[in-house]
């Protein structure tokens, strides 16, 4: 459903009216396209405390940079935070629309109390700046462990692909080796791929070169087949809650590599758990069947199928597991005790599995995306005033699109993202609740 308010604020009368009434003024977001894959303008890289250079044609105005990357890893005490102000104070107001600010820090828990306090302070700074910087701009904190290579993370955050990701804290560690080079195409499985976010995820992975196995329930077979055909992938009509779902997935993926001309190896390189349902009711009115259905689809099936695929050796070394949580699993949501419980469970699953030493040694990463208000058929059915509140209660003042979640999944699923694991990245425009 079209966001008419966003269109209104893009007109001169709309801007005047909303400004006079003190209403949100969301800016259209720059999203990735093949024709415009990069932000417009230069990227400025500074060390905290280093003054920003003046714009060449005006000695008094900062340049309209597309992005600023500030290295604050050297800040070791609270007094050093003044250096962050020194560098960014003259820049943020003049940053280009849909611009990016990325602050580089370190993990605060190293035993040095002064360093820990100063580095944790960066999180409050980043989240606050993101809520006020405006004009479609985003602000992130990237914490670097010793030996970390943040290239894939910076490539994502400094591109239009991260349009609806803001106010996030992302930790990057050293990658345990890299996948061996070769001509073999990667194989990805996306559950719930017939429509909405799952379809967008499948499209993004296919664009990035993967052969995508698109999985959804048999009742969605026609739509599923159309998606798989459009992407040159494989359709797998299957109820993910079936007891033998993991076994059937493993068999289907193994069969893909048997053709001499397939260019595919055996096993999965990317596993995306996206399938999910809602059955909303206040707890006092929620029957057991509604509770069970949501927990089984959203959480139980994820645990069961992942466990089978890992036990069967169906996930390749340097594999990527990405599960779909939700902002509801972080902040809760009225009438969604079952849904919020299932999505919080996904976060627990991701953090526990990412800590598995055997998987870490194999270079397997496990992460989650946590969407906020995303414009889908499901949210289009939400009553008007609740829908408008969902759209506006974030720093960007608008709902996200399925492609915003898909681009985040594609970044986490990349072979170059081996240093990112155990992370929950919110794709919520920096929701004002729980984020």
Residues classed as catalytic:
339
Q: Compute how many other C-beta atoms are within 10 angstroms of the C-beta atom of residue 133.
A: 20
Q: Do the Cβ atoms of 269 and 310 come closer than 8 Å?
A: no
Strands 43-47 and 58-62: unpaired
79, two tokens: 């007094």
The CA–CA distances, whole Å, from 349 to 211, 249, 307, 345, 422 equal: 26, 20, 11, 6, 9
What is the torsional sign of CA 194, 247, 187, 184? negative
Q: Please list, in sequence order, all residues whose beta carbon lies within 8 angstroms of the beta carbon of residue 226, skipping any fewer than 6 positions away.
A: none
Dihedral of the alpha carbons of 39, 406, 367, 321, in degrees to the nearest 10? -130
Cβ atoms 193, 199 nearer than 8 A: yes
d(CA 433, CA 13) in angstroms, rounded, equals 30
DSSP-derived letter for residue 428 is S
């Amino acid at each position: 459903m079209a966001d008419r308010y966003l269109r209104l604020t893009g007109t001169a009368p709309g801007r005047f009216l909303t400004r006079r009434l003190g209403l949100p003024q969301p800016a259209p977001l720059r999203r990735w396209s093949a024709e415009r894959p990069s932000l417009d303008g230069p990227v400025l890289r500074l060390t905290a405390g280093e003054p920003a250079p003046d714009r060449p044609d005006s000695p008094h105005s900062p340049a309209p940079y597309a992005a600023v990357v500030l290295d604050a890893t050297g800040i070791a005490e609270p007094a050093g935070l003044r250096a962050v102000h020194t560098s960014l104070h003259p820049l943020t107001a003049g940053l280009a629309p849909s611009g990016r600010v990325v602050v580089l820090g370190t993990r605060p828990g190293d035993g040095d109390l002064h360093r820990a306090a100063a580095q944790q302070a960066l999180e409050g700074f980043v989240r606050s700046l993101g809520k006020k910087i405006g004009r479609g701009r985003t602000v992130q904190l990237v914490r670097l462990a010793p030996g970390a290579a943040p290239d894939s993370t910076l490539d994502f955050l400094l591109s239009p692909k991260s349009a609806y990701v803001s106010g996030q804290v992302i930790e990057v560690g050293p990658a345990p080796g890299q996948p061996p080079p070769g001509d073999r195409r990667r194989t990805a499985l996306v559950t719930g791929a017939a429509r909405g976010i799952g379809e967008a995820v499948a499209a993004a992975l296919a664009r990035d070169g993967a052969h995508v196995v698109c999985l959804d329930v048999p009742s969605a077979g026609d739509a599923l087949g159309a998606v798989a055909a459009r992407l040159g992938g494989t359709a797998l009509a299957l109820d993910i809650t079936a007891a033998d779902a993991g076994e059937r997935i493993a068999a289907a993926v193994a069969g893909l590599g048997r053709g001499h001309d397939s260019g595919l190896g055996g096993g999965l390189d990317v596993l995306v758990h996206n399938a999910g349902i809602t059955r909303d009711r206040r707890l006092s009115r929620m029957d057991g069947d509604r509770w069970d259905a949501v927990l089984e689809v959203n959480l139980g099936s994820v645990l069961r199928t992942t466990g089978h695929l890992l036990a069967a050796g169906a996930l390749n070394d340097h594999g990527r597991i990405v599960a779909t949580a939700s902002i509801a699993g972080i902040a809760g949501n009225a009438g969604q005790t079952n849904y919020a419980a299932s999505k919080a469970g996904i976060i627990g699953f991701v953090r526990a599995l990412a800590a598995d030493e055997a998987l870490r040694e194999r270079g397997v990463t496990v992460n989650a995306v946590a969407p906020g208000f995303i414009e889908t058929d499901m949210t289009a059915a939400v009553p008007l005033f609740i829908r408008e509140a969902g759209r506006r209660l974030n720093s960007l003042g608008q709902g996200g699109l399925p492609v915003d979640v898909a681009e985040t999944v594609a970044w986490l699923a990349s072979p170059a993202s081996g240093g990112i694991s155990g992370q929950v990245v919110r794709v919520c425009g920096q929701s004002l609740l729980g984020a």
